Amino acid sequence: MGNYCVGSNVNVLPSVEVSQSPEEKFREYLASRPRAQRYTTQQRDMVKYIFSKHNHFDAEELIDEMKGEGFQVSRATVYRTLNKLVDAGLLRRINLGERTVFEHDYGYSQHDHLHCEKCDAMIEFLDPQIEALIRSVCSQYGFYFTGHTFVVRGLCAACNRARTTKRRLDLV
């Protein structure tokens, strides 16, 4: 397997060179809308906060964390802004069944995820063989490839060890 990242604040995936900061890119996105939109203080706080760390988060976690750190954010603004950040190419939306999480898209290479269904850990990995296979299949069907989301669901090593240990104890 290629590069990987375990945990929410570690990033060993290759970064991608970008010409603008996330704030500049979002401000440009808002200005380019059919009806130009203001870049509000809440939006600015959100963009700075989100891009100050590398983790996977859902909207409710973001609201709780930001409020816990003293930011004034409304639930409606957070949900609307997250959608705009996805549309602007700054965040990627990952559906995990009933839960939707977000991660940085801007400045990060295309990568995939292992999702532990027990502890909710997200393990990021990059495997050139998967990328080559996807490109080959797309070429075979004349399909224009713009990106993908690949999430493997199961148990992480720690949860699998705990499950195996528990099963052995049940046999005693």
State residue 17's pLDDT score. Answer: 84
Residues 92 and 118 in one domain: no
Residues 115 and 167 in one domain: yes
Q: What is the tens place of the pLDDT at every residue in 74-122?
A: 999 999 999 999 999 999 999 998 899 999 988 888 899 999 999 999 9
Task: For residue 108, give the DSSP letter.
Answer: B
Residues 103 and 42 in one domain: yes
Residues 23 and 72 in one domain: yes
Say yes or no to pLDDT of 11 above 90. no
Considering the entire predicted model, what is its pTM?
A: 0.80
The beta strands (E) that lie in 28-84 are given as none
8 A C-beta contact, residue 124 and residue 104: no
State residue 166's pLDDT score. Answer: 63
Count of structural domains, the chain: 2
Residues 85 and 159 in one domain: no
Residues 126 and 142 in one domain: yes
Last residue of a domain, one of 70, 89, 107: 107
Which domain range does residue 156 map to? 1-12+109-172
Residues 96 and 119 in one domain: no
Residues 27 and 99 in one domain: yes
Q: What is the tens place of the pLDDT at every residue in 120-169?
A: 999 999 899 999 999 999 999 999 998 888 999 999 999 988 777 666 55
Residues 101 and 54 in one domain: yes
Integer Cα distance of 158 and 164 in angstroms: 10
Residues 41 and 118 in one domain: no
Residues 37 and 97 in one domain: yes
Task: For residue 14, give the DSSP letter.
Answer: P
Integer Cα distance of 22 and 85 in angstroms: 9
8 A C-beta contact, residue 96 and residue 151: yes
User: What interhelical angle do 59-68 and 75-87 show, nearest 10?
Assistant: 120
Output the domain CATH number for residue 4. 3.30.1490.190
Last residue of a domain, one of 107, 127, 155: 107
> 125, 108, 112, 118: which is closest to 54 by C-alpha?
108
Output the domain CATH number for residue 38. 1.10.10.10
> How would you class 97 by CB atoms within 10 Å of its CB: exposed for 0-12, middle for 13-18, buried for 19 or more?
exposed
- Could you count the other beta carbons within 10 Å of the beta carbon of residue 150? 14
